[in-house]
Amino acid sequence: MLNYDIVVIGGGPAGMAAALKAKECGVDSILILERAETLGGILEQCIHTGFGLHYFGEELSGPEYADRFIELVKEKEIEYKTDTMALEITENNVVYAVNKTDGLLEIQAKAVILAMGCRERPRGALNIAGSRASGVMSAGTAQKYVNIDGYMPGKKVVILGSGDIGLIMARRMTLEGAEVKVVCELMPYSSGLTRNIVQCLDDFNIPLRLSCTVIGIHGKDRVEGVTIANVDENRRPIPGTEEYIECDTLLLSVGLIPENELTRAVGIQLDPVTSGAVVDENRETSHKGVFACGNVLHVHDLVDYVTLESQTAGEGAAKYVLGGGEEPEYITTKGVSGVRYIVPQKVNIKNEGDVKLYFRVGQVYKNAKTVVKYNGEEIISKKRPRLAPGEMESVIIKNDMLKKFAEGGVIEISVEE
Amino acid sequence: MQKNIICVACPMGCGVTVELDDNGAILSVTGNTCKRGDAYARTEITNPVRSLATTVKVEGGIFNVVPCKSAGALPKDKIFECMEVINNTSAKAPVKLGDVLVADILGTGIDIVATNHCPIK
Amino acid sequence: MNYDVAVIGAGVIGSLIARELSRYNIKVALVEKCNDMAMATSKANSAIVHAGFDAKPGSMKAKMNVAGTALMPELCKTLSVPFKPVGSLVVAFSDEEMVTLKELLERGIGNGVPDLEIYDAAKLREKEPFISEEAKGALWAPSAGIVCPYELTIAAVENAVVNGVEFIRNFEVKKIDFADGVFTVSNGESKINTKYVVNAAGVFCDEIAALIGDDSIHTIPRKGEYMLCDKSIGHLANHTIFQCPSKMGKGILVTPTVDGNLLIGPSALDIEDKTDVTTTAGTLADVLTAAKRSVPCLTTREVITSFAGLRAHCTRDDFIIEPSEKNSQFINVAGIESPGLSSAPAIGLYVKDMLIKELGAEEKADFKAEREEPVRFRHMSNEERKALIEKNPAYGRIICRCETITEGEILDAIHAPAGARDVDGVKRRTRAGMGRCQGGFCGSKVVELLARELGVEINEITKCGGNSKILYERTK
């Protein structure tokens, strides 16, 4: 049995930032477990730029953003094992993992930080009718083939879903010589960033069809075409609007799901909206000493926010390991009318700093207000010229305000038009 | 003449209209809600630029390709020409992050630099 | 090449026939038009071992079903194929359907089905807590079970190959000549010679028979669409839950699978195109609606994939297992629709008996009946895992995260007798890519491993043979 103060599961941006922060806070015995061959996580294949504007104040590519943390992990001599898969976390924070060189690892941790990231929703979840020909893959899989392996997964492409990965891959495939015929989006708005719509689609004259979906996949061995159709306000295809589009590839960019299999297996409470753990302001889950951060907690739009959140978790885990602190007194947070979720879901009112609440709205709003209420009473109101589901919002609850709250209280955030 | 563009200076995504005279000189910029929108629209009309991220072929590396980017923004209308140059370039492993893979591409003054490491196989 | 018997079609039927024949000192070829075995009906069906109360008494279906179901548990054990004796329930929703249950019970007793019993609503609910409030009762058949149909097929072929059968892939039979008591079977490019032909070509049985001028068989592909749900709702059915049969077939079932998923389906639609395994939104919606009649709390939320399979329905409405009228050395095994999977072990024996007599073959002394159990890392204890990785480090590298499948298991699948040659082949043998992410993460790793082990470029690897390639040329 190995012993570490903190075991971090996942060596992507979340895991690395959490580990580095914990180290900075005085914990030396830290081990990062990473399932891929290198640290860096999904950033390694995100070769486009646009990362780091908030955190570093410059535009980096994914690998560059990751490299800054990889270098720090090495410099600070934080231990890590790549090509290593965590299989199980026990009630007592024993982590089981495997790799080729160590075999089965049994690691007793004082604290565990979950930073496993997320995965893409597959075709099955959409139940698209038609054949099971090759040429249907998630946008992220295609991204790996093009950017890491250096192979083209298709020549004539239809993309379903206008999330950022879908938009980025539309441009990427076009630059590499493929013809992207259309990007279809089920919703009446794109969930991607506006700049990506302009720079990835408009620049290359790739049409974006809103309220439109793929209803059929054709082709026996390899995809030969898809049928798309417009959808009504209930997202059902409108008969008569079907259109056949010849293509050899269908890329799916239809949402991300936190990878919480380990979390679920140990019985940690999950939030049905985020599909991530329910956490407090330190990102501690319902299981004592287990923290979660990054896309495994909730899907972020910017890696910069992942880094910040993970530092919070790293600091929280360090505090936990180093001991002290009294029994927490929690208030809960709740998104209402227009706000889909809030992270953290609970806040310890004995916390000594300010607390930042992150939240997401359910639709696009223009010139709206976000209103924070404590036990029904308005405490903060912020005018927002634009709110969109693709962009994470935040609000800070100042510590002096927090001190006035009582255990069991409820903070609600809503959108008012 | 009128040109409509979407400002991407911030997530607002304002629709901005630029009025041009017959010589292509800007007469007015409207629809923007801030100064940054005005500036963005002017650059976008007179000299639209984009940064480029792609990959370069690697010989003898652990990967077939290494990611790269333009160290600064390139003229938008030269993007595909730049791709052609980059696609005809090949680097020898080991490649280090920051290595210049194509210097001064197409005389733009902009280098194409590696954005990751690619060790020897 | 010269053979005593050529079995056309490596579905569950052809494969089990070939395996039975491999006990004898004869030369057997198993000829398959696809890149792998179990590529049609055998990979897309309900995966049910039926008790045998449905078929008309005296029919081949009834005989083979009851005999096959009795053989199945032992066969699965011998071949290391997962089989679960979960039993089945036919649920009645009205007093009339309760009468139907009685008829089924009597028919079942006539067919020799053991231990049938009619449950009242209370007993049914005790067995199936999530069953509809509307359910009045059910017919309980404890001898029914579930099996993985493609694993059974793969295991049968592997074992047959170990015992000397030649598995010939990508050989689409286009021409059969007969001269001097010997058939010449051709795919247009190469030929094999054989004394006997077993036509086990599933929905294509009629076309294969027609190659020797036998027009007696008419196959109608009857499409069934299914939805497979995540393991997280696997507990919604403890047994195979049928509804009362109608003219359209056995209706929509809700069943656990051997892997702990939940399977619902199939629809039933007669079609013309024998390769049409497309799913349709409307039909899948109907399947769900019908399934909800049995288990109302089902939703599409947990659906991880949907698929369609074709049943080889024949106009004769019974299994056809007999020599062709045109040539007694040509054995038709046609019209093997439901309960074909349940009957497969018995059909294997039945066809073997027909041929062995004719050939005067003798049993081999060195026949190896058992197929070694493949390594299943996910089912092992941590101690077993430790020991395994010490022996072979490849078992320490997880490739498929969702199903916990190791590199070692994938290498085993590729290097097995009649091993995997494409991504779907690896998936069927190991479950890599069958989980929640449906190959999103591991797909490219499986492609890499296949390319490395088969010694080809990664863009030569296909999803399922033919033109189903995954990657085009290098980007640069």
Task: Give the pLDDT confidence of C330-348 residue by residue, as tens digits.
Answer: 999 999 999 999 999 999 9
List the single residue in A with minimal CA-CA distance to C228: A124
All residues of chain B having their beta carbon less than 8 Å from the beta carbon of residue C475 are: 55, 65, 87
Boundary of a domain, candidates C290, C310, C330: C310
pLDDT number for residue A247: 98
The reply to whether A159 and A202 lie within a common domain is yes
Boundary of a domain, candidates A298, A325, A352: A325
- pLDDT greater than 80 at residue A370: yes
Mean pLDDT computed over every residue of chain C: 95
All residues of chain B having their beta carbon less than 8 Å from the beta carbon of residue A176 are: 54, 83
C468·A134 Cβ contact <8 A: yes
Q: What is the CATH number of the domain that holds C127?
A: 3.30.9.10
The reply to whether C266 and C130 lie within a common domain is yes
The reply to whether A262 and A226 lie within a common domain is no
Residue C172 lies in a domain: no
- Report residue A238 CA to chain centroid gap: 32
The reply to whether A231 and A139 lie within a common domain is yes
Chains touching C by CB (3 or more pairs below 8 Å): A, B
- pLDDT greater than 80 at residue A325: no
Residue C265 lies in a domain: yes
Quick one: pLDDT band at residue A125, thresholds 50, 70, 90? low
How far C239 CA sits from the closest chain A CA (Å)? Answer: 24
Range(s) of the domain holding residue A191: 122-254
Global ipTM: 0.91
Cβ C377 vs Cβ C385: under 8 Å: yes
Q: Which residues of chain B have pLDDT under 50?
A: none
- pLDDT greater than 80 at residue A144: yes
Residue B120 lies in a domain: no
* Total tally of structural domains belonging to chain A: 3
The reply to whether C306 and C224 lie within a common domain is yes
Assess C476–B contact: CB distance below 8 Å, yes or no: yes
Would you name the residues of C annotated as active-site residues? 50
Residue B26 lies in a domain: yes
Residue B119 lies in a domain: no
List the single residue in A with minimal CA-CA distance to C385: A104
The reply to whether A315 and A333 lie within a common domain is no
pLDDT number for residue C251: 83
Boundary of a domain, candidates C265, C286, C310: C310
The reply to whether C418 and C285 lie within a common domain is no
pLDDT number for residue B18: 93
B55·C474 Cβ contact <8 A: no
The reply to whether B32 and B58 lie within a common domain is no
Over pLDDT 90: what percentage of chain C? Answer: 91
Range(s) of the domain holding residue B39: 2-46
A132·C277 Cβ contact <8 A: yes
Q: How many CB pairs under 8 A join A and C?
A: 147
**Among C227, C306, C444, beta carbon nearest to A144:** C444
How far B53 CA sits from the closest chain A CA (Å)? Answer: 5
Residue C225 lies in a domain: yes
Residues 394..413 of C with a Cβ closer than 8 Å to A: which?
Answer: 394, 396-398, 401-402, 404, 406
The reply to whether A48 and A150 lie within a common domain is no
Q: What is the CATH number of the domain that holds A394?
A: 2.60.40
State the average pLDDT over residues C263-275: 94
The reply to whether C288 and C421 lie within a common domain is no
The reply to whether B76 and B24 lie within a common domain is no
Boundary of a domain, candidates A277, A293, A325: A325
pLDDT number for residue A16: 98
C300·A127 Cβ contact <8 A: yes
Would the pTM of this model clear 0.90, i.e. be above it? yes
State the average pLDDT over residues A299-324: 94
The reply to whether A10 and A106 lie within a common domain is yes
State the average pLDDT over residues A370-389: 93
Q: How many CB pairs under 8 A join B and C?
A: 10
Range(s) of the domain holding residue C394: 377-460
Predicted confidence (pLDDT) per residue in C176-206, tens digit: 999 999 999 999 999 999 999 999 999 999 9
Chains touching A by CB (3 or more pairs below 8 Å): B, C
The reply to whether A245 and A139 lie within a common domain is yes
A119·C444 Cβ contact <8 A: no
Residues 22..81 of B with a Cβ closer than 8 Å to C: which?
Answer: 55-57, 64-65
pLDDT number for residue C83: 97
- pLDDT greater than 70 at residue C247: no
pLDDT number for residue C366: 96
State the average pLDDT over residues C164-171: 98
The reply to whether A192 and A96 lie within a common domain is no
Over pLDDT 90: what percentage of chain A? Answer: 86
- pLDDT greater than 70 at residue A153: yes
